[in-house]
A and B are shown apart, each in its own frame.
Chain A
């Protein structure tokens, strides 16, 4: 009988690494609209962090912890991205016209908030959810 492999190293390290990857992916998402990064690469990186979870722990316990329906998140992401364009139409500007301004927030100080970021957030959700859907569909295939 095959013994259960000892995953302690992987599981301990995964907890640490995931924190780094997740925070960096959020940074990439927020920086995206005017420096390298963006929703696409941010989404992929978050997906890879969640994948490490799936790899180091088993499929079922992670599915218990993360109870999102990824397919619905794809739809939400598409809505986010497209409605960003539509909102500017409602105010009489051309489709996808983008706006930005500077705000002073507590803790963070002065930050630039743009509507391009909402678009990026939509892309982030789409990429994250579709990458995970594809990988999990293939993973569940050999049952």
Chain B
């Protein structure tokens, strides 16, 4: 029965391989990959419920006992991440069906998409540090393929920077892994956690913690390693940009949460209260300022990712159950709303042919449905009750004030205000004002394009109105990850 936890990794892998064989028949590829994403989504819902009811599921791959073999661990945090990632993946896939140009579609779009899902799902599920590196690479190599997909000059130039920073980060990751192996002599995360606890996280272990933080921060786009994100996410089509904006940075954040709750939790004053909170505060502010200064829809949203992910790091840094639960809630909220906003940018681009805010206007007259759906997503992102954005920011900031971190909580409130300003800017530039697109453009039907976004919008409303059960769940996740003995015992079976 434990084999079920490998299925979210192996299903997209096998289907991706089959799609490579069928690479000349893109209509077949489309049908198969659409069905696959729906199956994956249904399966991850099942897995999340199963783990919630029966507790952590551990698979020892190849029958090799932990800590010697590789383990795949599905606890509540990983199944939640899995559920969100397949949801975002499915929405982007169905959006891509209608927006990706045919010559792009022919160039291995669907196999790359599915291998990206392999890497993302694998990173969430693995319980082995080196295996985490491997799944990071699977994810990154697919993302290199997707980010240059289409091969325009702009994409090639900006993707080069993306590749360079990620190769550098991966090299640093291997160095950090080698170093931690030389100290604790194991790669199994539960076993590492046990031994780091015995050593009381002394000396070089703090340096390794920082090295791993740098690696994950460069994937998660935290200051000062955030500079690559806005430009490289601007290049690819909206479906790919939405997928990256929803998934890739969150894998970095997940890795930070996993390592800094499970392994490096013995020197809180230095790592959490010092490092994480400072970086989160600076990132939040710089990202929000960057978003305000932009007049391009996609670039603005990319800066928004930077400022939003740091709320999760802030929640982790405060490290009280309330704040960590808020961070978990925030991940759920952000992974739903951010891709939705990117997909809206794709829809408006399809109508007006541009992503420049100054060249758009008056869409409310011709596309009222689009406008009001965007409005819901925008105010949810800005944190207006009763939508999910409010209920995810509230516990983090409340937790910050309770733990007497007044500066960061103040910054978080200020950034919330700045986010509201950016959202108002988009809304007034794109949807209000004089109509700047032609009458023919005004008649372009967008109903089908809005369909894949609809579940995301519905979920942000549901997460807002059903905040209590969702928050209880986040609280459960937070208590589980802040109490790593459960994870260690279920992996090592002691």
Residues of A within 8 A of B (CB): 71-72, 74-76, 78-79, 82-83, 85-86, 89, 93-98
Contacts and interface: CB of A to CB of B under 8 A. Distances in A.
A75 B16 CA distance: 8
A96 B62 contact: yes
Given A82-B10, A93-B63, 11 more contacts: A72-B20, A75-B18, A75-B21, A78-B17, A82-B13, A82-B14, A82-B17, A89-B3, A95-B3, A95-B59, A97-B63
A127 to B, nearest CB: 14
Contacts of A85: 6, 10
Contact of B14 (A86, A95, A96): A86
B60 interface: yes
B61 interface: yes
B155 to A, nearest CB: 19
Contacts of A72: 20-21, 23
Listed from nearest, the 7 A-B pairs whose CB atoms lie closest are A75-B20, A78-B17, A75-B21, A96-B62, A95-B6, A97-B63, A79-B17
Contacts of A78: 13-14, 16-17, 20
B2 interface: yes
A96 B20 CA distance: 22
Contacts of B16: 78
A95 B20 contact: no
Nearest to A94: B63
Contact of B10 (A74, A75, A95, A97): A95
Nearest to B72: A95
A79 B14 contact: yes
Interface in B59-117: 59-63, 72
Given A71-B23, A86-B10, A89-B3, A94 B62 contact: yes
A106 B214 CA distance: 58
A83 B14 contact: yes
Interface of B: 2-3, 6, 10, 13-14, 16-23, 59-63, 72
Nearest to B111: A75
A83 B13 CA distance: 10
B123 to A, nearest CB: 17
B23 A94 contact: no
Contact of B62 (A83, A86, A98): A98
Contact of A94 (B2, B10, B13, B20): B2
Most A-side CB within 10 Å, residue of B20, B61, B72: B20
Contacts of A93: 63
Nearest to A90: B3
A57 to B, nearest CB: 28
B3 A75 contact: no
7 contacts: A72-B23, A75-B17, A75-B20, A78-B20, A89-B6, A94-B2, A97-B63
Contacts of A89: 3, 6
A72 B16 CA distance: 12
Contact of A96 (B13, B19, B23, B61): B61
A121 B3 CA distance: 24
Most B-side CB within 10 Å, residue of A75, A95, A98: A95
B230 to A, nearest CB: 31
A74 B19 CA distance: 11
A95 B18 contact: no
A97 B60 CA distance: 10
A94 B21 contact: no
A78 B16 CA distance: 9
B221 to A, nearest CB: 30
Nearest to B17: A78
Contacts of A75: 17-23
Contacts of B19: 75
Nearest to B4: A89
B208 to A, nearest CB: 29
